[in-house]
Chains A and B, each alone.
Chain A
């Protein structure tokens, strides 16, 4: 079991959770009802893929971020 604090970037709200071995980023986001969000350890780290195990990548008591999906993109591709 590991304890994690998930910070919702837009509001600053902190959600404390406990995860077990094999818990994926998708599991965490579903459990917290954070649709259209992505998890990351911070701006210096890539986003977790939905199927990626978070358990192996975080330390007990660590803070991670949930941010809404965004992508820098070519103007031609943007609405």
Chain B
């Protein structure tokens, strides 16, 4: 006889797990809720009273900013220490120095919300670096 019976031994844990998964099938899926937060929050700006503090974030860097919301459509956007690229942008004339290296970004067309204004300034900064 060429075969010798050596008896039983337990299967390795990995094989048992694989087999039990096949028998069990997939468990019920869990629906993950999406965070629905305004853009300013997504960009980690903080709100204190009527003032928002944070950074305008672009692929070229993050630039310190401050936003004062005086009313629904009365929002002032400030940028701290604009870089040389921003200073060379055609819209540099729209920046008004307000002291201590803070600049008011003048809006020819004001956004209706803070988040839209942040997006606009981030886009302007990106343009400044790419032009």
Interface mask (B81-101 → A, CB under 8 Å = 1, otherwise 0): 000000000010110100000
> Please, which residue of chain B has its CB at the minimum distance from the CB of A42?
B119
Given A9-B38, A43-B126, A67-B39: A78 in contact with B115 (beta carbons within 8 A): no
Confirm or deny: A11 has a beta carbon within 8 angstroms of a beta carbon on chain B. yes
Question: Contact at A71–B122, with CB atoms within 8 Å?
Answer: no
For the complex formed, measure the closest distance between the CB of B118 and the CB atoms of chain A, giving whole angstroms.
8
Confirm or deny: B44 has a beta carbon within 8 angstroms of a beta carbon on chain A. no
Number of A-B residue pairs at CB separation under 8 A? 99
Interface mask (B16-59 → A, CB under 8 Å = 1, otherwise 0): 00000000000000000011111101100000000000000111
Confirm or deny: A19 has a beta carbon within 8 angstroms of a beta carbon on chain B. no
Size band of the interface chain A makes with B: 20 to 34
Question: Contact at A67–B119, with CB atoms within 8 Å?
Answer: yes
Complex Cα–Cα for A69 and B119 (A)? 10
Which has the most chain A C-beta neighbours within 10 Å: B41, B58, B109, B124? B109
Interface mask (A32-62 → B, CB under 8 Å = 1, otherwise 0): 0000100010111010000000000000000
Q: What 11 new A-B contacts, CB under 8 Å, besides A69-B109, A72-B121, A73-B108?
A: A9-B113, A9-B115, A9-B116, A10-B39, A10-B115, A12-B37, A13-B36, A14-B34, A67-B111, A70-B120, A75-B106
Closest 9 CB pairs of A and B: A73-B108, A10-B113, A43-B122, A70-B111, A67-B116, A9-B115, A68-B112, A9-B39, A71-B109
